[in-house]
Amino acid sequence: MRKTLTEIAQQLKSTGKKVQLIYAFNGSGKTRLSREFKQHISPKVEGEEEPSSELADKKILYYSAFTEDLFYWKNDLERDAEPKLVIQPNAFTRWVLEEQGQDQSITATFQHYTSEKLTPHFSADFSSVSFSFERGNNEQEPNIKISKGEESNFIWSVFNALLEQVISELNIAESANRSTDAFNNLEYVFIDDPVSSLDENHLIELAVNVAGLIKSSQSDLKFIITTHSPLFYNVLFNEFSNKACYMLERLDDGSFTLKEKHGDSNKSFSYHLHLLQTIEQAIADQKIERYHFTLLRNLYEKTAGFLGYPKWSELLPDDKQLYYSRIINFTSHSTLSNEAMAVPTPAEQATVKLLTDHLKSRHAFWQSQGA
């Protein structure tokens, strides 16, 4: 069903789940959804020029591209001044840095995901931060400008420290016993793609750490996480037991769909596309080998799981299901090594192409123009 982002924000709010995971390709509207959801949860008061900056008035905490706008580089090229990352005044960073003194925690997290030789240095009033890098000769290169990816990791480290403190405070059941009442009205945390320029190992670790932090939350705080990374999504999916899962898509007319995903369709919805691409490339290059039957069976299995079929063979052409099922089973699981050839016969190669084309055309795989 076609919806506006406002309607999707309403849908997310009405779900009532502790955790909601959303997968979307880049450009599908994830970041705009975070803003729309913020507006839906905490609408701007009519006649109010600026939203309140008081923490106690906040109902939602969110990390997205807009969060990164709170940080900007100050470069005075005329005077050859030292580059520094300026932190725009805001209630959240003031609380986590000035009141809670979490600068060392932020540094530790940042270095863990980047390099222990890369060190942030906060100004005395926490209004800016500069960076240095230790060289192999024990010398330090001060006042460097870090990459965009490293900058994103640093900003996530600030948010992570804030989130840890928020969850810790709200886990104290009696509000009178908390060290602050600043988060008593907080209802939601919206996290949009905290995975910039992380390698695969760190991405998995980040997903596990985020999941662990969320699972430690004992309050009524609810979490929405969006990502374009299949790996990040899949790790989170496996970490949470009670959650709602969706795929967000932007349609040609500017509207959106939010499709709920169930079961195995969440686990491998991107890997099957890699399998398809691998098989198609082998067909195009006329380099089909026997192992491509194994990949073909795997592709049919994953597609059947995604579509809810009890048996993968039910996706085969109706008139020859048993025949093609036997061919795939025999060719992909043959134990007669003395009789198996690496290169299939022309008829077997034609079968790979026929069954690949059948799966694409019969079961609604997206077709690129000219394909």
248-301 pLDDT, tens digit per residue, is: 989 889 999 998 887 655 554 555 666 787 888 889 988 888 888 888 888 888
| Alpha carbons 50 and 257: distance in angstroms, whole number | 31
| Alpha carbons 129 and 121: distance in angstroms, whole number | 5
134-161 pLDDT, tens digit per residue, is: 876 667 788 899 998 899 999 999 999 9
Tokens of 72: 């900007």
Are 60 and 37 contacting, i.e. CB atoms less than 8 angstroms apart?
yes
Long-range CB pairs of 167-171 (<8 Å, 24+ gap) are 167/213, 167/214, 167/216, 167/217, 167/219, 167/221, 170/217, 170/218, 170/219, 170/221, 171/216, 171/217, 171/218, 171/219
163-219 pLDDT, tens digit per residue, is: 999 999 999 999 999 988 889 999 999 999 887 668 777 888 899 999 999 999 999
Rg from Cα positions in the chain: 26
| Alpha carbons 289 and 304: distance in angstroms, whole number | 24
- Percentage of the chain exceeding pLDDT 70: 84
| Alpha carbons 12 and 16: distance in angstroms, whole number | 8
- In the chain, the domains with their CATH numbers are 5-266 (3.40.50.300), 271-362 (no CATH)
The alpha helices in the chain, defined as continuous H runs, are 5-15, 30-41, 65-68, 91-93, 103-113, 148-170, 200-215, 230-239, 271-284, 291-307, 321-333, 346-362
In 3D, which of 178, 162, 191 has the Cα closest to residue 87? 162
Q: Flag whether pLDDT at 371 surpasses 60.
A: no
